[in-house]
Amino acid sequence: MDIIRVENLTKKFKNFTAVDNINFTVRPGEIFGFLGPNGAGKSTTISLLTTLLQPTGGRAWVKSFDVVSDRDAVRQNIGLVFQDPSLDERLTAEENLRFHARLYRVPAAAYPARLEEVLRLVDLWDRQKNLVKTFSGGMKRRLEIARGLIHYPAVLFLDEPTLGLDPQTRTNLWDYILKLKREKNMTIFMTTHYLNEAEYCDRIAIIDRGRITALDTPANLKKALGGDVITLQSVQAARLIAEIREKFQLAAEEKNGEILLKITAGEKFLPRLLARLHTEISAVTLRKPTLDDVFLNLTGRQIREENASPKDRLRAHNRMRGPK
């Protein structure tokens, strides 16, 4: 049975359609990723699934509870880690969790054991009595994940969980997320615009301008591209493309000033290619396909991490706020 089911879900804000008629299902125990650039509709989708926003059209169910008509049941069954910090920094780690546990009606008798369980999972057990304001950005994130788990949700939603964390902390956090899947068989729905993080997902949906343009495992998505990518640079791009077509019967295409050629077993083909071409080539690269290529192929644009919007930079700054 699917744990999340989404049918024709749509969300409009005045004249802007943030989520445009999307359909997908999430299976129990998988890490399902939403990959897309800023403003693609990822966070809006999470807000719809977690009942923070009301859909304009379509329906969605979490663990067979309707997100509109069965709001409280959905809320009881999800754990949510927001994109922006949401801890009370003047409380201790334990007090933050106790607050949450009471609101989600965790039985008082079960609380001590659960507290230890979730805090040990994210390695914060020995920091439970510390005020959250003394925590680093990564520790706060882990505490938020622990908090999202303490009421034993059916699905854990992570909205850009590693945004604003440094690369080492990011990798570290992923160890915890994967551990969660391994040890608890937790279903995780996450959004990201980091391509390398999408690789950790069992399945990903690529979302652009509110629409899902592809949905599959990362391996299948890359396979669908038709092999490796050889990138050539030349001042005589048109002539190069013509020569490749003539000598190898291959259609190369020009994108962003580079000539792209898709080919299986590129490492074997590349020497032959260079040996037979006469047009001058200034640079050449061979790449195994990445999810960026998948995205580029689907949308004609790239997701680039360095294109973080000012808002994201501010978020990142807020996330890192506090002592290291």
Partner 1 sequence: MLITIFTIWQREIIRYGRDKTRIVATFVQPLMFLAIFGTGLRQTLATGDFGLDFLQFMYPGIIAMSVMGVAFFSTISTVWDREFGFLKEILVAPVRRSAIVLGKVFGAASLAAFQALILLGLSPLIGVKIQLLALPGLLFFMILIGLAIAALGLLIASLMKTTESFGLIMQILIFPMFFMSGAFFPLNSAPIWMRTLSGFNPLSYGVDALRQILLANQATPAILDKFTLHSPIMNAAFLLAFSSLAVSAAILAFNKKA
Nearer to partner 1, 71 or 209 (CB): 71
Structure tokens at 313: 């930079």
Using the structure block, give the residue that is written with the tokens 């129990």. Answer: 28
Instruction: Identify the residue among 12, 68, 99, 260 touching partner 1 (CB under 8 A).
Output: 99
CB 36 within 8 A of CB 193: yes
Q: Which one of residues 32, 61, 82, 194 is an interface residue with partner 1 (CB under 8 A)?
A: 82
Q: CB of residue 85 vs partner 1: minimum separation in angstroms? A: 5
Between 56 and 76, CB nearer to partner 1: 76
Q: Is 90 in the site for partner 1 (CB under 8 A)?
A: yes
Contact residue for partner 1 among 88, 175, 253, 280 (CB under 8 A) = 88
Cα dihedral 130, 131, 133, 138 sign: positive
Q: How near is the Cβ of 99 to partner 1 at its closest, in Å?
A: 6
- Strand order across the 65-66 sheet: 16-26, 4-13, 57-62, 65-66
The residue range among 20-28, 83-91, 171-179, 266-274 that interacts with partner 1, by the rule CB under 8 A, is 83-91
The residue with tokens 């590693």 is 162
Q: Which helix (H) or strand (E) holds 52?
A: none
- Select from 93-101, 182-190, 219-227, 245-253 the region that touches partner 1 (CB under 8 A): 93-101
DSSP state of 92: B
H helices of the chain, in order, are 42-49, 71-76, 93-103, 111-121, 137-149, 167-184, 195-198, 218-223, 237-248, 266-276, 291-299, 310-320
By CB under 8 A, what part of segment 127-166 binds partner 1?
131, 147
Contact 157, 78 (CB under 8 A): yes
CB of 86 to partner 1, least distance (A): 4
Binding-site size for partner 1 (CB under 8 A) equals 26
Q: Which residues of 311-323 are buried (b: 16+ CB within 10 A; e: fewer)?
A: ebeebbeebbebe
Of residues 100, 114, 193, 222, which one binds partner 1 by CB under 8 A?
A: 100
Q: Say what angle helices 137-149 and 111-121 make with each other, to 10 degrees.
A: 140
Residue indicated by tokens 């690369």: 167
Judged by beta carbon, residue 191 or residue 234, the one nearer partner 1 is 191
Question: Helix, strand, coil: what percent of the chain each, to 5?
Answer: 40, 25, 35
Residue 67 touches partner 1, criterion: CB under 8 A = no
Among 51, 162, 187, 299, interactor with partner 1 by CB under 8 A: 51
**Residue 76 lies near partner 1 (rule: CB under 8 A):** yes
Q: Candidates 3-11, 48-56, 231-239, 258-266 — which segment interacts with partner 1 by CB under 8 A?
A: 48-56
Decide: is 277 part of the binding site for partner 1 (CB under 8 A): no
Structure tokens at 221: 């998505």
- 104 binding partner 1? (CB under 8 A): yes
Judged by the rule CB under 8 A, the positions of this chain that interact with partner 1 are 50-52, 72-73, 75-76, 80, 82, 84-91, 95, 99-100, 102-105, 131, 147
